[in-house]
Amino acid sequence: MGKGHALSDGVIKKILLSYTYVAIWIFLSFTVIVYNKYILDKKLYNWPYPITLTMIHMAFCSSLAIILIKVFKIVEPVSMSRDTYLRSVVPIGALYSLSLWLSNSAYIYLSVSFIQMLKALMPVAVYSIGVLLKKETFKSQTMTNMLSISFGVAIAAYGEAKFDVWGVVLQLGAVAFEATRLVLIQILLTSKGINLNPITSLYYVAPCCLVFLSVPWIFVELPVLRETSSFHFDFVIFGTNSVCAFALNLAVFLLVGKTSALTMNVAGVVKDWLLIAFSWSVIKDTVTPLNLFGYGLAFLGVGYYNHCKLQALKAKDAQKKVQASDEEAGKLLEERESEVAGKRSESQD
């Protein structure tokens, strides 16, 4: 009786910890998005320099990652040759810098709620690019689902009260670059047995992003910042914003490590709805019924996509277990046959 009670306590503790990790990730992701919007929006903090903001994040995150790995040795760096770094990490870093630059730029032109609706296209982009790069198999059922997600986002866009073409182009570009990055991680890193957690990812990728971002920054934002003589670096605002960005990466490490990537996808959907509600109630962004209807359709499509992914993972795990049991049975059979053969030879002697 006591043993059963202890087991139930352990299960309850595990569930509570999982929900805690989810809550921390949602809170930090929510905070970073709203904080970035606050800094970049001309009606709020009025500091519309997305490249500079992203570079501050990358400089802070890469510095902390180097300290955590080299000084405190919290995690071990991945063994990687210079050739592997240039061929695998550098392209991923370039795509990540473009994705962050464009997504942060979109906050200047679009509402937080509408950006979350456009982000629902991520599975569509990942699947389409995966098929193009032969990482995913084309399935008409999956593509139909992708089209339904796209249709829902198109309705949400049509119902957007403050539609801005340039803002939409920026956000769709960010989605495309991020999706390509995710597919290339599988092709260039995972397939080679290189697995990076968020800390080692920042250690290798963040300095690379900083270098790539410095090129457009020199030509686009540096001249404007020089002309703005009233500008002063607000250590409180940019410091806390950078801490939140780094903490979000650690939260991803905790959430995926202690639960699963699918849990993060589901938590992401909850976060998006919370952001839409916050954008409407606190920031006072206009959210129309057509917005919600369109995003609702896209949400159902994303939910179905995650469900199919979960079923595929379960089927794959079940197949691995069957193969393992078959191999074990085969070994036992071989052992018994060798024993029988040994006894026969002994009896003949």
Q: What is the dihedral of CA 79, 81, 83, 86, to 10 degrees?
A: 50
Token pair 């997305």 is at which residue? 50
Residues 323, 192: contact at Cβ < 8 Å? no
Whether 110 shows a pLDDT value over 60: the answer reads yes
Residues in the chain: 349
| pLDDT score recorded for residue 309 | 77
Higher pLDDT, 105 or 263: 105
| pLDDT score recorded for residue 255 | 73
Highest mean pLDDT among 60-64, 83-87, 343-347: 60-64
Give the C-alpha separation, 122 to 88, whole Å: 22
Residues 6+ apart with CB under 8 A from 60: 242, 243, 245, 246
- The whole-model pTM stands at 0.81
Residues 171, 117: contact at Cβ < 8 Å? no
pLDDT digits (tens, 9 = 90+) for 306-335: 778 777 777 777 777 777 776 777 777 777
Residues 204, 81: contact at Cβ < 8 Å? no
60: nearest Cα among 234, 215, 210, 178? 210
